Amino acid sequence: MKIRVYDTTLRDGAQTEGLALSVEDKLRIAHLLDRLGVDFIEGGWPGANPKDEEFFQRIGGERLRHSQIVAFCSTRRAGLQASSDPMLVPILAAQTQWVTIFGKSWDLHVTAGLRTTLEENLAMIADTIGFLRSQGRRVIYDAEHWFDGYKHNPDYALATLKTAAVSGAEWLVLCDTNGGTLPQEVTTIVTQVKQLFAALEITTPLGIHTHNDCDVAVANTIGAVAAGCSMVQGTINGYGERCGNANLCSVLPILQLKLGYECITPDQMTLLTSTAREISEIVNLAPNEHAPFVGLSAFAHKGGVHVSAVERNPLTYEHIPPETVGNHRRIVISEQAGLSNVLAKARLFGLELDRNDAACRAILRRLKELEQMGYQFEAAEASFELLMRAALDRRPHFFYLQDFHVHCQGEHNGQLTALATVKVVVKGEEHLTAAEGNGPVSALDTALRKALVAFYPQIDRFHLTDYKVRILNSNDGTRAKTRVLIESSNGNDRWTTVGVSSNIIAASSIALVESLEYGLMKSLGD
């Protein structure tokens, strides 16, 4: 059975607190969704803001291989005719073949929200859909607050759906707008609607749109499909207002790989992880590393017994091959690691070690010594690869930080400024450079890059994406040991390095240097 995939990352997902998209961001995401094989991309509400209007103007001139761009809007306003409602003018001007209209299903919202009659709400649904159809548009009808409306007044909620179907809507989407409906309720209600439609000979297909306020949006979506819905609406990474929308990065592999539905092609499914991570980069939100299927930890193995078993047969601890969703197996290194972890990790790094090799045991011994000092390598795999290569005398050295000084100046206009001076050795030559920043770590980072970019232009593409500080022994007060984790990216890949010291600037310098060295190693080869 074919399931139509409808993505609303650019509209519903953009309502995530702390997320802001430029027109360029929206265009880039649209092309990524098209590459993934999404059937419908909801681009926004034309007329709601200049940004959405520009998006529809520009996307109309770009070639998409698979996806249909959809404009979003509400039904006409009470007391007006759709043909004379100015709100619908920019919807038509967007020139999309498909338009999604949302209308009220819950009588409470009609009387208290719209402050109109139940009869007028039905007329608003019929008139809006009929007008759009007369203008050559195809319509998807989103029944807002459907499940709440059905539970409070099933006859009226069904009447809104029947009105939309008769008026020409090609899809009827049942929305759990408040996110408070539970899976068994969704399955029961969708089943009842299917049975009632069959009795009335209404053949319009159903879709499902769920929010995650009870942390069951994905489960609700899966249950709705099992009960007869053939369109799923959601967002990449589960972005959305409040607690988010159904996460398509979980919905798609569950439906296709677990239940046998056809959503996208197998080749497109292998793009799922990269799409999720690229979009998280564009929206500038750190990815959920523990997300199912696409998270960095989704196929990570830490305990030595687990690692040994997975090495012999991945089915022992992996429910699907990670490659089917474009992810990969990770062997986590920590103080719980055994030789199996070290050997498996070495293979992932392209290094061959023998269990009886002295270097293998030396790496494990050094790992546990460093973790005793406060290092944490399960969250800093780039540092561990550098450690392993150093033990094997295969670590490249692109530069050497010989000395550095950081001077913090007093506040100016409410902002603390810092000046960092670094002395680095590159290809046998000493170079002294200084740079300012809005703090000591920022200044140090800027000075290092300034000293190195002439030798290694690739550094221009490196940027810090996250900076974490952990106090390890808080009882020691200001003398406490500090662990710094720095996550970096070159726009495609991410890597994390770690530094530990009782001086936070020194800990940061260790992590910064390793971040640059690792990025250069991956860019230039070892």
The string of pLDDT tens digits covering residues 350-370 is 777 777 777 777 787 787 788
% helix / strand / coil in the chain, to the nearest 5?
A: 45, 20, 35
H-only helix segments in 46-152? 50-59, 89-93, 107-108, 118-134, 146-152
Q: What is the model's pLDDT at position 323?
A: 93
Residues pairing with 211 in the sheet: 245
Helix axes 50-59, 23-36, angle to 10 degrees: 50
CA distances 28 to 99, 126, 245, 300, 318, Å, are: 21, 35, 21, 30, 33
Which ranges of the chain have pLDDT less than 50?
A: none
Bridge pairing between strands 482-489 and 463-471? antiparallel
Q: Distance (Å, rounded) from C-alpha 520 to C-alpha 276?
A: 25
pLDDT digits 0-9 by tens, 498-517: 999 988 899 999 999 999 99
Q: 310: part of which helix (H) or strand (E)?
A: helix 304-312
Q: Distance (Å, rounded) from C-alpha 314 to C-alpha 302?
A: 14
Instruction: Choose among 396, 358, 401, 360: nearest CA to 499.
Output: 401
Q: What is the model's pLDDT at position 526?
A: 56
pLDDT digits 0-9 by tens, 250-294: 999 999 999 999 999 999 999 999 999 889 878 878 789 899 999
Q: 68: part of which helix (H) or strand (E)?
A: strand 68-74
Q: What is the model's pLDDT at position 474?
A: 62
Name the pTM for this structure: 0.73
Q: What is the model's pLDDT at position 159?
A: 97
DSSP label at residue 245: B
Q: Distance (Å, rounded) from C-alpha 36 to C-alpha 266?
A: 10
Q: What is the model's pLDDT at position 453?
A: 93
Residue 371 tokens, joined:
């973790």
End-to-end CA distance of the chain: 49
Q: What is the model's pLDDT at position 356?
A: 74
HSE (CB half, 13 Å, CA atoms) of 259? 18
- Structural domains of the chain, with CATH: 4-264 (3.20.20.70), 300-391 (no CATH), 400-524 (3.30.160.270)
